[in-house]
Every structure is written in structure tokens, then in C-alpha cells.
A and B are shown apart, each in its own frame.
Chain A
Amino acid sequence: MRKLFIIALLSPFFSNAQVLRTEAIFPFLDIRPVLDLSVVPKGNALFFEPKKDRDFLTGMSQKNAFSVEIKSNTNWQLTINSDAETFTNQATNMPSEISSEVIQLRQDKKTQYVALNTTPQVLATGGPGGSKSKENNFDLDLALLPGDYMESGGFQITLFFTLSSQ
């Protein structure tokens, strides 16, 4: 009984584990969808000057013509399309007869070349990740397949890369 009495008497002074007050704050994170695309051409890779018969018949290619970096927190797909169905003659600034489909692109050797068209063509797909993830950091190969007929002169076409969530 005496022991109990002493314990009862001293209990308030040995109450370090006791919680006296509790307060709180309420932070939050609002994470929006992000799709960040960087396509950088390497050197003079976008300039083709076919001269030999072989250049016309078998085509020309530029390995690793573009460096692509993607930052996304959703599944994504990268498409390519042109602004016109044919190249523009640089001298006259008029449409030529050279089809946009002579330009082809691919992600790497494992995938097939995709012909350039006004309709977006899927080049690559991937998942969430920053540009340091292997899936979101890659190069594109560029090929020119002019065929046996091509006008002479300088011609240009604009490529559009579009990143969208899936």
C-alpha cells in the first residue's frame, strides 16, 4: 500500500512519455501532367546532297541525326509529321514534285523506318521518367530515299515532332 501511495504521489514527475499538446499544419503537392520534349539535330545531319547514282537508288542515311530527350510523368508517344505533302523549292518558294515520303526516320536499328507524311506517324512510345532514363533519352536515324527521279535544285521541308500522353 505504501509503495502504491509513493508511486501515485510521484507519477506526475515521471511522465516524460506524456503528450501535452498536438498541433498540425497541412501542406500539399499539386502534381500536374508534364510532357517536356527536346529534339536537337546533330551537326549538319539534316542536309543531304545526293550526287551519285547510288545515292538516288539505294538512298542516303544519317545515323543519330537527332538527339531526343523526354520528361514525362505519364505514358507518352512521339509522332512525326511534315507541314506539306511535298518539298518546297528554295529558289521559287513553290511546292515541288518531291514527296515528303522520301524522308524516313526511326528510333534505332530495332525499329522500322517511318516515312514522313502530313499525317502524324508514331516514332516511339514510353513511360514516366526523366531525361536520364534510357527509355526517354535516345537518338533518331534519318534517311533519304529519293528514288530514280528527282528534280535538281535546293528543296526543303519542315518536320514536326509531337509528344502526347497516352
Chain B
Amino acid sequence: MQKRGKIGSSCIELDRDNFVFAKRITSTFIRKVTLISTFLLCSKFNAILAQSINFSVTPNTDLGLVYQTGLDFETERTIPRAFRLAFGAANLNLAVNAKVISTLNYGTELLSSDFYSIRLSNANTNVNNKFRRLYQLDFADQTILEHRGSNRGGSVYYDYDLIVAPVGYDIEPGQYFYSIVFTLSPQ
């Protein structure tokens, strides 16, 4: 009996230790699970945020320019209301950044990136005057617009003129293709 009692007593102590140990493990596990769940929820929230933005950039006309007369080469050329930035109704404040990339080049030399500029021509919403200036585009992103989101009303659009600086005569004949890339970031 004594031997059995000792054994029983020993077993009871061991169970208590296990209980405390198990309790600690469970607490840490719950914290970790909570942390991971929070990360996943935040990621999901971001994904939902990204997916809910209805944003498009659409050319309103042909964005190619042909150069063949002296006047073409020597003067600034403008494609009025060349493209439209459009936002669907969403209660988000967004910054629009723009940059230009030289993509394809069928001449033997690479053109510089600073030929293109854009300027807000027309919008169906109020725009801060500081975003109505001429923006000369470059390889680096620059903020050209701050869109104030609203759930009221329909979509909001911004029409832009595309302006090309005089190219001069030092550029070899050829076709030079560009991408003007617009990115949205939350404010």
C-alpha cells in the first residue's frame, strides 16, 4: 500500500507538472495562432482593398505621332484629351503616379524619356489647382493627381492632354515606342 501510495502520489505530482506545462504550451499556441490569423486577416483586408478599386486608363484617340515635315520636328505637338483616367465610386483617397518607359525602339539609338508631358484638360470633379500644371514625365514616378474618393454618385474621370516636346533633327529616323505607366497608391 505504501509503495502503491508512493507510486500514486508520484503520479499525481507528475500530472500537475504536466498540467502546468500543457497550460503554458496551450497559451503560447493560442497566441501564435492569433498572430498568424491576424496577419492573414490583414493580408485579406489589403487584397479586398486592392480589388475594390475600379480604375482604368483609356486612350481617347490614336497616341502615335508621325514626323515628316520641318514643322513636325521643330514644334511642340499636343494630342488634346489623349486619354482618360476613370475611377468607380469608392470611398478611398488615392494618389496617381506616372512615369514613362521606353519600350520598343526600331531606330539604332535610344531616345531619352523626357519628350512626353501631360496636363489635365477636363474632369467631372473638383481638382486641386496644383494638379492642373504641366507634368514632364520621366523614368521616375511622380504624383500627378490626388483622387478624393466618394461612394456618392457615379464614376469620376480626368481627361489629359499628351504633349510631345520638339524632337529636333538629331534623332535617327525610326519608330520609337513608349509606355506611360500609372500606379495607384493609398493616401
Q: Is the CB of B176 within 8 A of A31?
A: yes
CA distance A18 to B68 in the complex (A): 43
Q: Is the CB of B94 within 8 A of A34?
A: no
Q: Which residues of B contact A22 (CB under 8 A)?
A: 181-184
**Whole-angstrom distance from the CB of A161 to the nearest CB of chain B?**
17
A29-55: CB near B (< 8 Å → 1, else 0) gives 111111010000000000000000000
Instruction: Give how many A residues have a beta carbon under 8 Å from the other chain's beta carbons.
Output: 35
A11: nearest residue on chain B (CB-CB)?
A: B42
B106-139: CB near A (< 8 Å → 1, else 0) gives 0100010001100000000000000000000000
Q: Which residues of B contact A28 (CB under 8 A)?
A: 63-65, 175-178
Asked if B156 lies at the interface with its beta carbon under 8 angstroms from chain A, I say no
Q: Is the CB of A23 within 8 A of B42?
A: no
**Whole-angstrom distance from the CB of A66 to the nearest CB of chain B?**
19
Q: Is the CB of B169 within 8 A of A25?
A: no
Known contacts A9-B42, A28-B63, A31-B174: does B73 contact A73 (CB below 8 Å)? Answer: yes
Binds A, one of B3-11, B13-21, B52-60: B52-60
Asked if A128 lies at the interface with its beta carbon under 8 angstroms from chain B, I say yes
Q: Which residues of A contact B50 (CB under 8 A)?
A: 20-21
**Whole-angstrom distance from the CB of A17 to the nearest CB of chain B?**
7
Asked if A24 lies at the interface with its beta carbon under 8 angstroms from chain B, I say yes
Q: Is the CB of A128 within 8 A of B169?
A: yes
CA distance A129 to B164 in the complex (A): 19
Q: Is the CB of A71 within 8 A of B169?
A: yes
Q: Is the CB of A129 within 8 A of B170?
A: yes
Q: Which residues of B contact A25 (CB under 8 A)?
A: 57, 59, 63, 82-83, 179-180
A26: nearest residue on chain B (CB-CB)?
A: B179
**Whole-angstrom distance from the CB of B24 to the nearest CB of chain A?**
14
